[in-house]
Amino acid sequence: MSISLEKVTKRFGVTFGVEDVTTLIPSGSLTAILGPSGAGKSTLLRLIGGLVTPDAGRILIDDDDVTFLDPRHRNIGFCFQNYAPFRHMTVAKNVAYGLKVRHRPRAEIADRVAEMLELVRLSDFASRYPAQLSGGEMQRMALARALAIAPRVLLLDEPFGALDAQVRAELRTWIKELHDRIHVTTVLVTHDQNEAMEVADSLIVLNEGRVEQAGSPTDLYDHPASEFVLQFLGPSTTIDGVALRPHDLVIVPTGEGTPATVTEISTLGFEIRIAILLGSGETAWIQQSRAEFDAQPVTIGQSIGITRRDATVSPVGTRLDPRGAADRAPDSAAALTQPTTP
């Protein structure tokens, strides 16, 4: 089920609003809304979920205009930042809630709840109360509750926000697997670009309420539409007032390119960082692999020339893909997500 936003505006005051947002979230995708805090990410999610009504514009889910539809009739699964567990109900009752609202037969509810708890691996916790669950377990319960009603779209607000690093990593992997298994259009909000790049197959970068750029993670990383996107999605450095990726800089003999002096060399495992001082007095840095460095070593104090790596002379030759394919997943995801069948 695709989601389409057309010129959607919602103002709250200074921050957290969204301004003239037009974007299409493709059916079956796992989309991350990414941006700094106060950019309006959660507002955008709440607009899709119907918890907030736009001041202007239209929201369509699968060609149905849902702009003014009450959230209870949208058939969406919404997971809240604090999970919003119903504290006076057991895990099973929480998951059953949406089905009871829909007056499903008792036996069907029981089957569906069992199925959902199996899916989120909480079968042994059915009769516990939320207060007896850990953060990660509560998050999975919230997911089961949202998925039980077979929603058209799944909306997750900062799903990894309040969890510790290890649980975050596990849950990330698990959400990707889950998405590969059930293929429900999923939109999640995060402020962590690494998380977004790893989990999502498409990104919407938001800044001050406006969409800076939307597309596949690699596309946005390699072809940022603005300096903001470039800086937000990865390391950056500035040469002659132009921001670019430090691994897009190559060292050339003195006399060619921009003249510079090496001031510091640091080794971070496989990666080498070379700090340089430009003729203009500005500082910048270059990112190289160990192999690149070993092939053409430099020393502190050495005068060098700097130039931007051009697509045509790129030693790897994989940087540009003019089609910017949306179906190309980041490499890291391949190892994580083998579709599994229960």
Partner 1 sequence: MGGALGVASGSALLMSYLSLIVLIPIAAIAARGLGVTVHTNGWGMAVWHWSASSDFSGFWSNVTQSDSAHAIWLSLWLSLSVAAVNAVFGVVIAMVLVRDSFAGKRLLEGVIDLPFALPTIVAGVVFVYLYGGSSPVHVNLIGTWMGLLVALLFVTLPFSVRAVQPVLESLDSNAEDASRSLGAGGFRTFASVVLPSLLPAILTGFGLAFARAVGEFGSITLIAGGQQTTTTASNLIFNLFAGQNYTRAAAVSVALLVLSLLLLASIGVTSSRIQRRLSL
Partner 2 sequence: MTDTVTIVPAARRNRARDPHRRQLLPLRAAALLYVALLVGIPVCFLFGKAFSAGLGTFWNQITQPGAVSALELSAKVAAIVVPVNTIVGVGAGMLLARRQFVGKRLLDLTFDVPIAISPIIIGLSLFLAYSKIGAFGPWLFARGVMLVFSVPGVVLATMAVSLPYVLRSIVPVLIEIGESQEQAARTLGAGMWRRLFTITLPAIRWALLYGIAVTLARSLGEFGAVLVVSGNRAGLTQTLPVYIYSAWDQNFNDVGAFSGAVVLAAISISVLIVLSILRARERRLRVDIA
Among 13, 37, 87, 342, binds partner 2 (CB under 8 A): 87
Pairwise CA distance, residues 146 & 148, whole Å: 6
Q: Are 230 and 246 in contact (CB under 8 A)?
A: no
Nearest to residue 73, comparing CAs of 81, 85, 61?
Answer: 61
Least distance to partner 1 from the beta carbon of 31, Å? 26
Where in 145-164 is the site for partner 2 (CB under 8 A)? 145-146, 149
Question: Using CA of residue 264, residue 248, residue 199, residue 40, what is the dihedral sign?
Answer: positive
Min dist CB 94 to partner 2, Å, is 9
Residues 155, 75 contacting (CB under 8 angstroms): no
53 binds, among partner 1, partner 2, none (CB under 5 to 8 A by kind): partner 1
Compute the distance between CA of residue 43 and CA of residue 190 in angstroms, rounded to an integer.
12
With CB under 5 to 8 Å by kind, the binding choice for 327 among partner 1, partner 2, none is: none
Query: CB under 5 to 8 A by kind: which of partner 1, partner 2, none does 86 bind?
Result: partner 2
Among partner 2, partner 1, none, what does residue 121 contact (CB within 5–8 Å per kind)? none
Does residue 306 contact residue 257 with C-beta atoms inside 8 Å?
Answer: yes
Residues 6+ apart with CB under 8 A from 232: 34, 35, 36, 193, 205, 207, 212
**Binding map of partner 2 across residues 218-257, x = CB under 8 A, - = no contact:** ----------------------------------------
Residue 74 touches which member of partner 2, partner 1, none, C-beta under 5-8 Å by kind? partner 2
75 binds, among partner 1, partner 2, none (CB under 5 to 8 A by kind): partner 2
CB distance 97 to 86 below 8 Å: yes
Q: Which residues contact 165 (CB under 8 A, 6 or more apart)?
A: none
**Closest CB 80 distance from partner 2, rounded Å:** 5
Q: How far apart are CA 4 and CA 57, in angstroms?
A: 11
102 binds partner 1 (CB under 8 A): no
Binder of residue 25, out of partner 2, partner 1, none (CB less than 5 to 8 A by kind)? none
| Residue 68 in the binding site for partner 1 (CB under 8 A) | yes
Contacted by 68, from partner 1, partner 2, none: CB < 5 to 8 Å by type:
partner 1
Question: 12 or 68, CB closer to partner 1?
Answer: 68
In the bound state with partner 1, the residue whose beta carbon lies nearer, of 98 and 246, is: 98
Residue 67: CB minimum distance to partner 1, A: 11
The yes or no reply on residue 78 touching partner 2 (CB under 8 A) is: yes
Measured from the CB atom, is 31 or 42 closer to partner 2?
42
Among 40, 49, 159, 234, binds partner 2 (CB under 8 A): 49
Considering only residues 105 through 144, tell me which ones interact with partner 2, judged by CB under 8 A: 131-132, 142
* Contact with partner 1 (CB under 8 A) among 53, 81, 261, 302: 53
Binding site for partner 1 (CB under 8 A): 53, 68, 70, 72
Which residues lie near partner 2 (CB under 8 A)?
Answer: 49-51, 70-78, 80-82, 84-89, 97-98, 101-102, 131-132, 142, 145-146, 149
